[in-house]
Amino acid sequence: MDRSAKILVAGARGLVGGAIVRQLRAQGFENLLTPFRAELDLTDRAALDAYLAQHKPQFVFDAAAKVGGIQANNQFPGDFIRDNLLIQTNLIDASYRAGVEKFVFLGSSCIYPKFAPQPMKEEHLLTGILEPTNSAYAVAKIAGIEMVKSYRRQFGFKGISLMPTNLYGPGDNYDLNNSHVLPALIRKFHEAKQSHAKEVVIWGTGTPRREFLHCDDLADAAIFLMQTYDSDDIINVGVGDDIAIGEVARMIKEIVGFDGALVQDTSKPDGTPRKLLDVSRLTALGWRPKLSLREGITQTYAAYQATLAAA
């Protein structure tokens, strides 16, 4: 991928897309296409075809998706499967027909079975039932994986599929109704500190274990794999280590500086008991994350405070 290459980052205003844009620019790539949704609606196939015909990107990072936490996935499964199928189907097919040289599809670790062996290897895909709370989103992502693989087999389309673990970082969604666990905890503890609350309530038992990857590390891995990986086999992107949700909550409580109590609402769902990726395939290629979880959360909280101050 030459530094002068024209690169489209779909979903460039989101957590992952924004991080990919930052990393590309940091590495000297300046010929970037980063359309707003108002400029390019990926669910509108005719508009997408016209955009690609006009701009002719050589490389595409598909970071566009409808995402959310347990509550959002539970409440709006129809929205999640419809929007994600539309976005990825349009983008994969249109990119192939527009002559894109290489395509990166970003999936999710939720594609793996709810009770998959831990850590989860790439070959565990489709070996068991999915977590019901986000099965609609997971099925859409699995369809995207199969579409990329099928286009490689039938048309020789150079697409690769990356499966990131749980992500966080600057630009995350902090809406308590549809955000993921880590940004939701940052906001809860920050607001509790500001209001001098006596306690913060978190969902579930606190025992489920999760792996967290900073979005900048994912972006670095995505660019690395765009340039070094060419296979129809999916590849996991994570840190290879996990932590209990309760422990994450205590870490965020400390970083934010909240002095009150931490209370767990065990009537709320836990979700999948454990989600840890086997990243040996990625590690063997020579890539490792740079940020520790504490460093990443500290940086993310600072970015959240800056956003609030700007607003």
Domain ranges of the chain: 7-172+211-241+276-292
Cα dihedral sign for 215, 246, 173, 311?
Answer: negative
- 164 has binding-site annotation: yes
- Each residue's pLDDT tens digit, 84-132: 999 999 999 999 999 999 999 999 999 999 899 999 999 999 999 998 8
- 276 has binding-site annotation: no
- Report pTM: 0.93
Q: Is the pLDDT of residue 271 over 80?
A: no
Record the tokens describing residue 190, joined without a space: 């920050």
Tokens 């490792």 correspond to 288
Mean pLDDT of 286-291: 97
pLDDT band at 293 (very low <50, low <70, confident <90, very high): very high
- 290 has binding-site annotation: no
The C-alpha atoms of residue 36 and residue 173 are separated, in whole angstroms, by 17
CATH of 7-172+211-241+276-292, one of 3.40.50.720, 3.40.50.1100, 3.40.50.1390, 3.40.50.1000: 3.40.50.720
Burial environment of residue 290 by CB neighbours within 10 A (0 to 12, 13 to 18, 19 or more): exposed
Cis bond leading into 77, ω under 30°?
no
Greater confidence (178 vs 283) lies with: 283
- 270 has binding-site annotation: yes
pLDDT band at 179 (very low <50, low <70, confident <90, very high): confident
Tell me which residues are annotated as active site: 137
CA neighbours within 13 Å on the CB side: how many for 165? 29
Nearest to 62 by CA among 88, 43, 82: 88
Q: Provide the 3-class DSSP secondary structure of residue 291.
A: coil
- 49 has binding-site annotation: no
- Each residue's pLDDT tens digit, 24-71: 999 999 999 999 989 999 999 999 999 999 999 999 999 999 887 777
Record the tokens describing residue 122, joined without a space: 């790439």
